[in-house]
Amino acid sequence: MGPALANLISITIYNIVRIAFLWKKFRLFPFTIRSVYTILVAAVCYVACYFTFLQVHGFWGLILRSIVFITLYGTATIYFRLSPDTIPVINSIKEG
């Protein structure tokens, strides 16, 4: 428990210092409100899959949960346009 906690603390401090440096030096902040929405969508998809497949066990349960999570999360990401990179990728797949 001790090494894991120390690792969590050190990585958190390191990332806070990096974000502060980016903000102070270049006035850049790597997160937007869309980052918060993305985390919320992922949490909702996780909870939905967790409770839906609570009684499904084994390898096939793992595969089924993964497919449903990817489908829910991918659909929500595209529908809510959470990432500006997804639309050009979707368009290039449709063209090709």
Q: Cα(16)–Cα(59) distance, rounded to whole angstroms?
A: 39
Residue-range definition of the domain harbouring residue 11: 1-30
Determine if the pTM surpasses 0.85: no
Q: Is the domain of 2 the same as that of 36?
A: no
Say how many domains are in the chain. 2
Residues 14 and 51 placed together within one structural domain of the fold: no
Q: Is 52 in the same domain as 21?
A: no
Q: Are residues 40 and 84 in the same domain?
A: yes
Tens-place pLDDT, residues 32-60:
999 999 999 999 999 999 999 999 999 99
Residue 96: pLDDT band with limits 50, 70, 90: confident
Instruction: Decide if 53 contacts 65 (C-beta within 8 A).
Output: yes
Same domain, 79 and 35: yes
Hey, is 84 helix, strand or coil?
Answer: coil
Q: How far apart are CA 40 and CA 83, in angstroms?
A: 14
Residue 81 and residue 32 in contact, taking contact as beta carbons nearer than 8 Å: no
Judgement on whether residues 6 and 46 belong to the same structural domain of the protein: no
